[in-house]
Amino acid sequence: NAGVMQNPRHLVRRRGQEARLRCSPMKGHSHVYWYRQLPEEGLKFMVYLQKENIIDESGMPKERFSAEFPKEGPSILRIQQVVRGDSAAYFCASSLGTGGWGTEAFFGQGTRLTVV
Amino acid sequence: AQSVSQHNHHVILSEAASLELGCNYSYGGTVNLFWYVQYPGQHLQLLLKYFSGDPLVKGIKGFEAEFIKSKFSFNLRKPSVQWSDTAEYFCAVNGDDYKLSFGAGTTVTVRA
């Protein structure tokens, strides 16, 4: 039973390029959460998606960041025109339903984005 | 909105020493409390959780945590650490919605 798969594990982008981070949830999970971890900080909520719907994107920066979770395929977190401040670890989690953090939600290994 | 603070950024111990990591949260309502661990190069794993009932919670790998409501605390403990406990530990709080709020994390280094 594969866990939450994120790729790539490491991503290097030059300033101004686009970064695409992928998250394949666990089999059967239809809820996906994205978190960002900046150096010396905890994980910060970014966005919560269900299949084909963005439920809450209150943690996403207003510009350059977008997320989707299509009917088929992985969830994608997209960062356009990256800047150095976007360098962070981005974690995805998936669950069967809402509020199931104790039993149903699992995290991926994260994607470490470095902007040079 | 809830917030979580972890008292230590980095803790260094010798094997067999006891470990206690502090966690305090701020939230006015009912909370669910968690400790996650991230071993080097691996994903976040759930160590233990508190939803209700006995405030002393036992988790995997010999860890336990105590919920003290009056102090808004959920400290993690292990009586005798091993080298394999070297990892980053995150306290997290979930209020009445789906957002899980994390502390900044504590890096624990256990020296053999």
CA distances from A50 to A71, A72, A107, B24, B45 (A): 9, 12, 16, 31, 22
* pLDDT recorded at residue A103: 57
Identify the segments of chain B with pLDDT beneath 70.
1, 96
Asked if the C-beta of B17 comes within 8 angstroms of chain A's C-beta atoms, the answer is no
Rounded to a whole number of angstroms, the distance from the CA of A100 to the nearest CA of chain B is: 8
Rounded to a whole number of angstroms, the distance from the CA of B61 to the nearest CA of chain A is: 17
Taking alpha carbons only, the member of B78, B93, B98 closest to residue B36 is B93
**B37 φ/ψ angles, rounded to the nearest 5 degrees:** -130, 145
CB contact under 8 A, B98 and A99: yes
Q: What is the pLDDT of residues A9-51, one digit of tens each?
A: 999 999 999 999 999 999 888 889 999 998 777 789 999 999 8
Q: What is the pLDDT of residues A49-103, one digit of tens each?
A: 998 999 999 999 999 999 999 999 999 999 999 999 999 999 999 987 655 555 5
Asked if the C-beta of A69 comes within 8 angstroms of chain B's C-beta atoms, the answer is no
Q: What is the CA radius of gyration of chain B?
A: 13
At residue A51, what is the residue type?
A: K
